[in-house]
Chain A
């Protein structure tokens, strides 16, 4: 597997260097065009400085900026236990050392992305709309694809390439604009200098700079997209391998592409990070050159053509079958891995919502859970009641049967505490947990942590662990024995 990551990196680094060279040439030419004799070095320095500063910002805050700008909120396992289970499974399947943080984006448009500096500090974000329409196998396919991006070290690389692209676009744009406003002045300057030869040389430099400033952003964008498209195929292949069930991802992609919803929080920089291009209708005409993703129908067809197995070689031959030519889409080292990966036939569990009604409801509930609503059930009549976080009463009568319903305010506080401890990143050490609590039943119940702190469990809590908000002990929660 390390071989694969290295090969993936080598290929991308070549493209990365080309982009870097373009940035340097651009800076040099612009400097030379404005300040003949020596200005080129200054221009080069400015271009590199801009890129360096942006890279530093990107390195230290890039993931949180992008997560915030896409409206993602970090969540605890009780918000969507199934999602956490799937992420945990894929973490193990891919051999990641750390559990990715889990974010949910409050949008009905189904999509997902992964981001992070290193595999130790990485996050997976999915939209509430995605959770509403996918069944477990499909969700697993999507999470596997995102885990693959983390595993293949794509995310960090894409961030840098994105920043480089941004710098090239910005500098070209500023240069061309400045010409627009000061074009007349610079030609007057040249004629006054009197030296015809140097004036002519200067004009040539200017023309070259202009041409390059127009072409560079286009070329950089194509390169960036070439990198990102390649990585999509590889992530699909790795995802299929991790789940050993290509159909899960195929059917998820089919459902996602069928959605008409637009993801409002996506933009041109973040678009290539999503599993499916979130900007619908744009860039369809130049599908092959300028689209952020390979055509989704093609990705689905490749996954569905993986009849024999779920390994890299199977993906490669399916790709060739769909394309009808012998071009390699995966790194050689992946293909060298000839070990057979049989396709799993998963149990038909929990097929997706019975229809629009329940998927709309599920979407609403995920959004509420993200926004820290409490979900209560009346003991008298079973009425489901959702209480917003700003609700301050300790108890109230059920509107249907008048039974008093307790609002476990402690739980609301716990949610905050768990969030914090999730934020600090779970330390997965040899010793997996500090104490065990076995649930009596799947209802509201409270127990005492060894430090004396009382901890409340909601009926919905189905994570495997909980952190005590007081002493930070990691408590393993076991299911009731039936």
Chain B
């Protein structure tokens, strides 16, 4: 799979049966809905989780394309204070985080299920210096 952001081939990281597509060029991360499904073990919770990051009503079409369906991803403003956006497929195929965004986004996870994802991501990217 190629990176949504810079089109370089992404590598796949596997932790605790979950796979995460990671771009070494730009530090981007793609989490697809299937992986979230394994992580959360429940399709309803996955659907909910895919809706959760929306903190405001701001949704804008971005230039980036979903690696699964090739449709434009939507930009979601998840942290108005710091102006952080993440990209989400309109058909909920997955989420894309730019480098550094993840750490900030992790701080925003509040619900129990979201925390599960947060702790896993923290484990994988524990050495990730935001720079």
Interface residues of A (CB under 8 A from B): 357-358, 360-361, 364, 368, 373, 383-388, 390-391, 393, 396, 398-402
Shortest B115–chain A CB gap in Å is 20
Interface digits, B1-34 against A, CB 8 Å rule (1 contact, 0 not)? 1000000011111110101001010000000001
The answer to whether residues A386 and B12 also contact, given A361-B17, A364-B19 and a CB cut-off of 8 A, is yes
Q: Which of A357, A384, A387 contacts B38 (CB 8 A)?
A: A357
The answer to whether residues A396 and B24 also contact, given A385-B11, A388-B11 and a CB cut-off of 8 A, is yes
- On whether the beta carbons of A399 and B22 are closer than 8 Å, the reply is yes
- On whether the beta carbons of B19 and A402 are closer than 8 Å, the reply is no
Shortest A201–chain B CB gap in Å is 64
Q: In the complex, what residues of B have CB within 8 A of residue A388's CB?
A: 1, 9-12
- On whether the beta carbons of B11 and A383 are closer than 8 Å, the reply is no
**Chain B: interface secondary structure?**
mixed
Tell me the number of A-to-B contacts counted with CB atoms below 8 Å.
58
The answer to whether residues A391 and B9 also contact, given A357-B17, A399-B22 and a CB cut-off of 8 A, is yes
Sorted nearest first, the 8 A-B pairs with minimum C-beta distance are A386-B12, A384-B14, A390-B9, A388-B9, A391-B9, A357-B17, A402-B127, A396-B24
- On whether the beta carbons of A383 and B17 are closer than 8 Å, the reply is no
- On whether the beta carbons of B127 and A383 are closer than 8 Å, the reply is no
A388-B1, A399-B124 known; 15 other A-B pairs, CB under 8 Å? A358-B17, A361-B19, A364-B19, A383-B14, A383-B124, A385-B13, A385-B14, A388-B12, A393-B24, A396-B11, A398-B127, A399-B13, A399-B24, A399-B127, A399-B128
Residues 31-65 (chain B) with a chain A CB within 8 angstroms: 34, 38
- On whether the beta carbons of B11 and A391 are closer than 8 Å, the reply is yes
Q: Which of B13, B24, B123 contacts A384 (CB 8 A)?
A: B13
Residues 109-124 (chain B) with a chain A CB within 8 angstroms: 123-124
- On whether the beta carbons of B124 and A387 are closer than 8 Å, the reply is no
* CB-CB nearest in chain B for A391: B9
- On whether the beta carbons of B127 and A400 are closer than 8 Å, the reply is yes
- On whether the beta carbons of B127 and A360 are closer than 8 Å, the reply is no
Shortest A58–chain B CB gap in Å is 38
